[in-house]
Amino acid sequence: MDQFAAAEKYSPYLFFSANEWAKFRADTPLTLTEDEIDRLRSLNDPVNLEEVKRVYLSMSRLLSSHVESSQLLFRQRQAFFNKESVVKTPFIIGVAGSVAVGKSTTARVLKELLARWPSSPKVDLVTTDGFLLPNEILRRENLMERKGFPDSYDVGALLRFLSAIKSGERDVRAPLYSHLTYDVMPGQFTTIDRPDILIFEGINVLQPRTLPADGKIVPFLSDFFDFSIYIDADETLIHDWYVARFMRLRETAFRNPDSFFHRYSQLSEGAARAIAEGLWTNINLKNLRENILPTRPRADLILRKGANHLVEEVALRKL
């Protein structure tokens, strides 16, 4: 049984083409400009205003309805327990998917759209990059070639962060990461102070853990999510996007002498492409097949992209 086949009788998902999905926008206004989209999208990601209207406005409307329903349920619980002093905790949206598939663009565009709803919710965005173990530790533990795999993260710090957010704590700190130096930034943090919505983006955020034999609680990151999104595409397409992005970075960011990857900017085009292919095959493809793709069925919403890097199909988990 293929639960991701639109005709499958027992699938837990409803399937829509991108054009069908676009109709659910209803009267949701477009609040972003082309210049803002240019600022929000990642390198080699062709998202434009038309794609925002076609896919993201309906998604924004759907998520806003979930947030509003959560707030209504919270008020009903307040009345049930007769406790007006209880603080509403943030609505957390997890965004998962492979490298180079467009997670960051999706997360940033959603953040802006959700924050511009008439209720003006406070929306924050945190990525899991800052929770990677520092390169010094990864080298010591022989994990540099597994960077991005589940064992390369400080899982305890991730769980403590999300637990603090869901406990309604104030001024919760998340570590920052530099894509220039390819490492966690020592002593640098972003502070999250009780947002209405938190978008939590990372390749392995839907990853489960080994269950204990004694039945004790072993929390997953996704246990703290109220809604989850998986950005999907055929692995051959993701391969092409990854290599194309690497070659673009070779001509741009890698030329910075402070870049961790500066040495690749000195190589010939053929040698650089060979490096990109090796990184894809030995690290990113392996991570996709072993850890990322298996988490796809755990998502509430799946955005399936086609060869043009734009969404072609949407799968929404049934209620």
57 contact partners, CB below 8 Å, separation of at least 6: 22, 25, 28, 30, 113
Q: How confident is the model at residue 264 (pLDDT cuts 50, 70, 90)?
A: very high
88 versus 172: the higher-pLDDT residue is: 172
**Angle subtended by helix axes 103-115 and 57-81, to nearest 10:** 60
Does 6 reside within a domain? no
pLDDT tens sequence across 51-68: 999 999 999 999 999 999
Q: CA torsion sign, 240 to 243 to 246 to 248?
A: negative
| Mean pLDDT confidence for 30-38 | 92
In a domain, 89, yes or no: yes
Quote the crossing angle between the two packed helices 235-251 and 269-279, to the nearest 10°. Answer: 140
Which amino acid belongs to residue 317? R
Per-residue confidence (pLDDT) for residue 7, from 0 to 100 = 60
Q: Is 26 left (phi over 0), alpha (psi -120 to 50) or beta?
A: left
Residues 6+ apart with CB under 8 A from 278: none
In the predicted model, is pLDDT for residue 23 greater than 90? yes
Q: Residue 18's pLDDT is what?
A: 95
H/E run at residue 247: helix 235-251
pLDDT at res. 1? 44
Q: Which stretch of 72-76, 103-107, 171-175, 253-257 has the lowest confidence by average pLDDT? A: 72-76
Q: What is the pLDDT of residues 166-199, one digit of tens each?
A: 999 999 999 999 999 999 999 999 999 999 999 9
We report the CATH number of the domain holding residue 48 as: 3.40.50.300
246 is a domain residue: yes
Q: Is residue 236 part of a domain?
A: yes
In a domain, 163, yes or no: yes
The model's confidence at residue 22, banded by pLDDT at 50, 70 and 90, is very high
Q: Which amino acid would we find at residue 212?
A: P
> Do the domain assignments include residue 312?
no
Domain residues for the domain of 181 are 13-203+211-303
Residue 107: pLDDT above 80? yes
> What are the pLDDT digits (tens) for 186-241?
999 999 999 999 999 999 999 987 777 787 777 889 999 999 999 999 999 999 99
C-alpha dihedral (194, 197, 198, 200), degrees to nearest 10: 160
Which residues lie closer than 8 Å to 81 by C-beta, 6 or more apart? none
215 assigned to some structural domain: yes
Confidence band, pLDDT 50/70/90 cuts, at residue 82: confident
Q: What's the number of domains the chain is made of?
A: 1
Nearest residue to 313 via CA among 201, 240, 233? 233
CA angle 11, 16, 21 (to 5 degrees): 140
Mean pLDDT to the nearest integer, 42-54: 89
Alpha helices (runs of H) in 47-175, residue ranges in sequence order: 49-51, 57-81, 103-115, 135-140, 155-166
Mean pLDDT computed over 127-143: 97
Please report whether residue 315 resides in a domain: no
pLDDT of residue 2: 58
Q: What is the rounded average pLDDT of the residues 290-318?
A: 96
Average pLDDT, the chain: 93
